[in-house]
C-alpha cells in the first residue's frame, strides 16, 4: 500500500485540481507498487492514469469496416473484444518482464513521443504450438484496452496473381487508422524464406510486400506475428521486429502456476502446490494440453455428481489425453 505521505499528496492535489502534481504523485504510487513486485496492481493503475479509449467510433463501426478479399468477399480479419486478463497468463520470467516493458511503453506513449520516441509496435512470437502465443496477444489487447484482431490467413492468401499483396495492403491500411492489437497467426505462410527453390515467384513477391509494408508502417496498432515454424521464416523478417518472445513448454514451476490458474474457483480435495507427482504427470505438455486435461477432469467431476475434484478425475483425463495423442499420431 502507498505510504501515508503520498496518499495525503494525492488527495490534496486532487482536491485542488492540480493535475500535473496529481499525476506525479500517482506515478510515485505506481513505482512503489512495482518495486514491491505488485505488477498486476501497477499495470491497472497505469491503465487508469494513462489509458484512453481505443474505440472512439465504437466497436460496431470497426466490425462493419473490416476489409474483404475482392474476388471472394472473405473478411480478411476477425475483430473481437478481448476477455482474457493478465491473471490468466502463465509466462516465463523473461517473457513477463518484456510484457511489463511493453505495457509501460504503451501506457506512457505520449510521454515517449514528447522525446521523439514511440512505443514498441512490432513483436514476433515463436515456439511450439499450444504454448500461449494467441492467449498472450489477447491479454496484451485486454491490458491496453484495445480491440483484438486476428488476421485470417485463409482470407488474405489468394490464388490470383497480385491479390495477396493487395489484401495485405488493405489490412495494413485498416490497422494503421484503427488502434488495436493485431495478430498475424501462422505468419510463416506470408513470410517464408525466399531462397527456398521450391517456392514460386508469387510467394516471393508476397514476402517482399510484407517487408516493405512493415518497414513503412507508422500506424496506431500493435502488430504481433506468431509462428510455430520459425526455421522457415525469411532471414530478413527477423530484423523488422523490435521485440521477439520465445514460447516454450512450461517447466514444473510454470505447470504449478498454470494448474492453479486453470483450477481457480474449482473445489478440490488436493493441493497443487506440494504435489510433485501430480506436476510430473503433466511434464512435457503444452499449455493447451494442460487446459484440455483440466476441462475433461472437471467434466468428469460434474457428470459423476461429485462436488470436489479428485486426483482420480485428473488421472482419468490424462489417460484420455494420451489416447487422443496416439490417435493423432496414427493419422
Residue 216 to residues 61, 122, 191, 213: CA-CA distances in angstroms?
Answer: 26, 12, 16, 5
pLDDT tens for the chain, residues 1 to 331: 557 777 788 787 777 777 778 888 888 888 787 777 676 677 677 777 765 444 444 566 777 789 998 888 889 999 998 989 999 999 999 999 999 999 999 989 989 999 999 999 999 999 999 999 999 999 999 999 899 999 988 889 886 768 889 999 999 999 998 899 999 999 998 998 887 655 566 778 899 999 999 999 999 899 999 999 999 999 999 999 999 999 999 999 999 999 999 999 999 999 888 788 899 999 999 999 999 999 999 999 999 999 999 999 999 999 999 999 899 888 7
Burial 198-232 (b: 16+ CB within 10 A, else e): eeeebbbebbebbbebbeeeebebbbbbbbbebee
3-state secondary structure the chain: CCCHHHHHHHHHHHHHCCHHHHHHHHHHHHHHHHHCCCHHHHHHHHHHHHCCCCCCCCHHHHHHCCCECCCCCCECEEEECCCCCHHHCCCCHHHHHHHHHHHHHHHCHHHHHCCCCCCCCEEEEECCCCCCHHHHHHHHHHHHCCCEEEECHHHHCCCCCCHHHHHHHHHHHHHHHCCCEEEECCHHHCCECCCCCCCCHHHHHHHHHHHHHHHHCCCCCEEEEEECCHHHECCCCHHHCCEEEECCCCCHHHHHHHHHHHCCCCCECCCCCCCHHHHHHCCCCCHHHHHHHHHHHHHHHHHCCCCCECHHHHHHHHHHHHHHHHHHHHC
Cβ neighbors of 62 (< 8 A, separation 6 or more) are 55, 79, 147, 178, 180
- Is the whole-model pTM more than 0.85? no
What are 82's three cell numbers? Answer: 478481448
CB-CB contact of 130 with 288 (8 Å): yes
What are 14's three cell numbers? Answer: 486532487
Amino acid at each position: 500500500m502507498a505510504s501515508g505521505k503520498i496518499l495525503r499528496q494525492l488527495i490534496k492535489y486532487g482536491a485542488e485540481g492540480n493535475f500535473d502534481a496529481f499525476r506525479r504523485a500517482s506515478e510515485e504510487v505506481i513505482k512503489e507498487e512495482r518495486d514491491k513486485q505488485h505488477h498486476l496492481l501497477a499495470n491497472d493503475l497505469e491503465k487508469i492514469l494513462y489509458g484512453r479509449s481505443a474505440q472512439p467510433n465504437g466497436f460496431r463501426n470497426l466490425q462493419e469496416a473490416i476489409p474483404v478479399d475482392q474476388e471472394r468477399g472473405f473478411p480478411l480479419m476477425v475483430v473481437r473484444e478481448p476477455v482474457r486478463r493478465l491473471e490468466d497468463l502463465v509466462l516465463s520470467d523473461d517473457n513477463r518482464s518484456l510484457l511489463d516493458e511493453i505495457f509501460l511503453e504503451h501506457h506512457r506513449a505520449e510521454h515517449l513521443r514528447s522525446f521523439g520516441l514511440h512505443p514498441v509496435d512490432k513483436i514476433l512470437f515463436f515456439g511450439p504450438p499450444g504454448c500461449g502465443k494467441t492467449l498472450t496477444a489477447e491479454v496484451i489487447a485486454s491490458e491496453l484496452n484495445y480491440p483484438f484482431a486476428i488476421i485470417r490467413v485463409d482470407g488474405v492468401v489468394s490464388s490470383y496473381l497480385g491479390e495477396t499483396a493487395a489484401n495485405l495492403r488493405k489490412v495494413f491500411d485498416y490497422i494503421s487508422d484503427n488502434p488495436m492489437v493485431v495478430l498475424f497467426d501462422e505468419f510463416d505462410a506470408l513470410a517464408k524464406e525466399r531462397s527456398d527453390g521450391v517456392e514460386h515467384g508469387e510467394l516471393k513477391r508476397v514476402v517482399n510486400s510484407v517487408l516493405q509494408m512493415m518497414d513503412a508502417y507508422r500506424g496506431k496498432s500493435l502488430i504481433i506475428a506468431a509462428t510455430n515454424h520459425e526455421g522457415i521464416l525469411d532471414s530478413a523478417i527477423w530484423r523488422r521486429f523490435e521485440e521477439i518472445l520465445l514460447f516454450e513448454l512450461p517447466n514444473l514451476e510454470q505447470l504449478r502456476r498454470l494448474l492453479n490458474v486453470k483450477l481457480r474457483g474449482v473445489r478440490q480435495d488436493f493441493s497443487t502446490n506440494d504435489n510433485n507427482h501430480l506436476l510430473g504427470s503433466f511434464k512435457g505438455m503444452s499449455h493447451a494440453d494442460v487446459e484440455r486435461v483440466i476441462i475433461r477432469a472437471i467434466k468428469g467431476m460434474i457428470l459423476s455428481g461429485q462436488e470436489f475434484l479428485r486426483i482420480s478425475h485428473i488421472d482419468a483425463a490424462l489417460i484420455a489425453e494420451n489416447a487422443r495423442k496416439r490417435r493423432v499420431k496414427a493419422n
